Structure 1
């Protein structure tokens, strides 16, 4: 994968285009909230390499139930927690994993994406990017909480998000403003976490090519 095509470069290009369009006070509020979240230690408490991945069973947009332990019977699983269809950084990330899906499948792995959004919004994500892997609804962040990823969106950001046209309670079907920090795991067939990436900075994500290399090394 060339430098120009890395997910990191795509995320940076989006950020460089977006930030100049936003008032400086808004940028500073967003940056402070991200720093505060990082300083909270949430990533330190998230699931780490060597841990046993908590099993779960969630629904895809059609109502089909998908269970992690059942998937692991057929090979390792790449588990991706994203904030929601409304997040442009998540969209870039999910699309990047879809582009590498044939390589993941060739390595015997399955990719699964999880967000707290209601099934209809998960369906929007799936259709928009023509995803060929399951997109599951973790309503209430029950599974993300088991993985140590859940935080409540800072109060300073809530009116800003509304100003951007992002209604998180409507997307998630509750009033909590709870979200997962973006995270990617590789879980082997024994249920052990072999790769773990979580970041309080939602503009940074695991590089799919690096995740693929981890899968190929199993």
Structure 2
């Protein structure tokens, strides 16, 4: 099943479970975020990415240049382990890992979560790739992906029991746009999925196609 089909199925469940006013608020704030065109300021195809290093879920230091020495790098920026869309995406990418490896690609995921929460996300989804902890969102900011969550959604998530200080170590309510990049071994972005609508995610098959096109 495609990731889109999985997300569509989840959306049906969400609409059946949540009150109409909550769904309306989510739709309104999502449309307002889309109207800000944040993705226009994010790193795009053709841009060279600066090196960075972050700790993975096991506390090991992972550096972009080390990964690029092995092959192209896929980066998935996700909001957090509390986000059902993120979990669906991470699991879908994990399912494609054997195919990504046929292109010598290195897959990593990045969020602003604290290391313990990054580990929890990895274990919960049985992920077999490095999940990195970008505390204070420095790398997300480097990629131009950061935004501040609408105050109405902050309040709604608090009602849902999502404690941002627990996940991120602060209450800045800053998150990255969910984004997926493919970076070639020269450090150049060859594929970028960017969308302010957090319910839309890159299809792993499209990521794979981007990797394969590099070798044609």
Match for 1:100 among 80, 96, 105?
A: 96
Unaligned runs of 5+ in 2: none
The number of aligned residues is 214
C-alpha deviations, 1:161-199, integer Å up to 9, x for none? 111121122201111000001000000000000000111
Match for 1:109 among 105, 108, 115?
A: 105
Give the TM-score normalised by structure 2. 0.97
Give the TM-score normalised by structure 1. 0.96
1:1-218 correspondence runs (5 A): 5-218=1-214
C-alpha deviations, 1:53-107, integer Å up to 9, x for none? 2321000122110011110011000000000000000000000000010000111
Structure 1: distance between partners of 2:204 and 2:56 = 22
Structure 1: distance between partners of 2:113 and 2:81 = 8
Equivalent position SS for 1:157:
helix
Cα RMSD after superposing both structures = 0.8
Structure 2: distance between partners of 1:137 and 1:192 = 23
TM-superposed CA distance for 1:28, in Å, is: 1.2
C-alpha deviations, 1:16-73, integer Å up to 9, x for none? 1112211111111111111111111101111100011232100012211001111001
TM-superposed CA distance for 1:158, in Å, is: 1.0
Equivalent position SS for 1:141:
helix
Q: Which runs of 4+ in 1 moved over 4 A?
A: none
Structure 2: distance between partners of 1:58 and 1:173 = 16
Structure 1: distance between partners of 2:67 and 2:7 = 30
Equivalent position SS for 2:191:
strand
